[in-house]
């Protein structure tokens, strides 16, 4: 097999799901909901399966889906999106990120990744022939050091990856931070590649800022996004790349040869989600705020330190006081003995860091109470 495959391992997140299933633990590792998508999507899916959508959609996305997407993005960002020039529909943000990386980078280019990071990014960089270089997000608030960031840009990277709101840290980047990143990218002529699937899962008083919507940013930002989290449809594998017409013309080629396209009936059905009124997003935010409060309430009772997430649905819990040699051992113990599965934090870090386990709380309130009660064994 190719040498590049020795540089990363199989997904630890999905490995933990397998462990949770094998020992019957409540699975708070791989981040996906255990509740149903909105009814509007379910009935649209039933209709779509009986419609004329069983052959390939247009490679870069079904026209109706792209139109609805452009309208929704305009509502959220104020950007005027041309559905025929600025969008490629992909199989989730996972494919979108791979497309963005292969579109932006030549083999040998450097790419800045904030550490801790969602595990796909280093693999995406390596698969596209690029070399990840890292800037630390420092616990407990997971802020970055401006000097360290400026130094990383001195290495003339081709791109920087910004996950906002951030998986696994829960950090929401402020407009000032995004502006600082954009200014450095401008100075060193780098792309800003964002991954924003948690755009609608943000806790007050924090507010999500779209990097692409900042003044003059559109030509430089390649936005990757997904419908998975917003509409609780992680299995539908629907995402997109949003960028300038120049970038999209190239990104379409990468996407076409990787996957041809996302599933046609699912694109048709998902239009119903994109057309949901503003109240849907307000209720989603309220529901996730309740979930966060329930789960963090139990965590507080365990006495384990953690960083309160500003957005997304993950929490990094500091398990160093439990005395395990590694976080992998700790995560296995949590799954087998406590009955709650999380992800060993080290899988998100460049440097050896065994202090954390990441739990997610995208679960029904009853599931969170059940998991929380199990965690109380620690208190």
| Shortest distance in whole angstroms from residue 55 CB to ligand GLN | 27
* 13 near ligand GLN, judged by CB under 6 A: yes
User: Site size for ligand GLN, by CB under 6 A?
Assistant: 6
Stretch 153-172: interaction string toward ligand GLN, x if CB under 6 A: --------------x-----
Stretch 259-288: interaction string toward ligand GLN, x if CB under 6 A: ------------------------------
| Shortest distance in whole angstroms from residue 153 CB to ligand GLN | 27
Q: Which CB, 122 or 149, lies closer to ligand GLN?
A: 122
* 242 near ligand GLN, judged by CB under 6 A: no
Q: Which CB, 81 or 163, lies closer to ligand GLN?
A: 163
* 309 near ligand GLN, judged by CB under 6 A: no
* 346 near ligand GLN, judged by CB under 6 A: no
| Shortest distance in whole angstroms from residue 120 CB to ligand GLN | 8
* 14 near ligand GLN, judged by CB under 6 A: yes
Q: Which CB, 179 or 259, lies closer to ligand GLN?
A: 259
Site for ligand GLN in 100-139 (CB under 6 A): 118
| Shortest distance in whole angstroms from residue 323 CB to ligand GLN | 26
| Shortest distance in whole angstroms from residue 156 CB to ligand GLN | 30
* 364 near ligand GLN, judged by CB under 6 A: no
Q: Which residue, judged by CB position, is nearest to ligand GLN in the bound state?
A: 31
* 54 near ligand GLN, judged by CB under 6 A: no
* Contact call for residues 345 and 354 (beta carbons, < 8 A): yes
* 30 near ligand GLN, judged by CB under 6 A: yes
Catalog residues that contact ligand GLN under the rule CB under 6 A: 13-14, 30-31, 118, 167
């Amino acid at each position: 097999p190719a040498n590049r495959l020795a540089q990363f391992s199989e997904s630890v997140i999905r490995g933990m799901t397998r462990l949770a299933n094998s020992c019957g633990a409540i699975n708070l590792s791989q981040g996906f909901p255990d509740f149903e998508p909105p009814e509007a999507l379910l009935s649209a899916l039933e209709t779509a399966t009986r419609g004329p959508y069983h052959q390939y959609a247009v490679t870069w996305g079904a026209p109706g889906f792209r139109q609805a997407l452009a309208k929704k993005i305009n509502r959220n960002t104020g950007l005027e999106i041309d559905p025929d020039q600025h969008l490629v529909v992909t199989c989730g943000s996972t494919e979108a990120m791979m497309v963005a990386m292969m579109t932006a980078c030549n083999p040998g280019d450097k790419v800045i990744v904030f550490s801790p990071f969602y595990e796909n990014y280093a693999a995406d960089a390596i698969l596209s022939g690029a070399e990840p270089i890292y800037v630390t997000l420092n616990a407990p608030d997971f802020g970055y050091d401006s000097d360290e960031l400026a130094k990383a840009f001195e290495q003339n990277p081709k791109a920087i990856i910004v996950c906002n709101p951030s998986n696994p840290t829960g950090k929401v980047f402020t407009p000032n931070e995004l502006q600082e990143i954009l200014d450095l990218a401008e100075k060193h002529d780098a792309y800003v590649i964002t991954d924003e699937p948690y755009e609608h899962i943000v806790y007050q008083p924090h507010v999500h800022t779209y990097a692409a919507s900042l003044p003059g940013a559109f030509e430089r930002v390649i936005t990757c996004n997904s419908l998975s989290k917003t509409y609780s449809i992680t299995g539908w594998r629907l995402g997109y790349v949003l960028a300038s017409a120049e970038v999209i013309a190239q990104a379409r080629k990468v996407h076409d040869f990787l996957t041809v396209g996302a599933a046609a009936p699912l694109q048709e059905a998902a239009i119903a989600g994109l057309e949901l009124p503003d109240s849907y997003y307000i209720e989603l935010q309220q529901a996730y705020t309740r979930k966060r409060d329930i789960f963090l309430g139990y965590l507080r009772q365990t006495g384990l330190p953690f960083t309160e997430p500003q957005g997304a649905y993950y929490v990094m819990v500091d398990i160093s006081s439990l005395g395990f040699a590694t976080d992998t051992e700790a995560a296995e113990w949590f799954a087998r003995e406590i009955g709650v599965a999380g992800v060993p934090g080290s899988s998100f870090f460049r440097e050896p860091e065994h202090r954390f386990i990441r739990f997610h709380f995208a679960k029904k309130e009853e599931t969170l109470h059940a998991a929380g009660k199990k965690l109380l064994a620690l208190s």
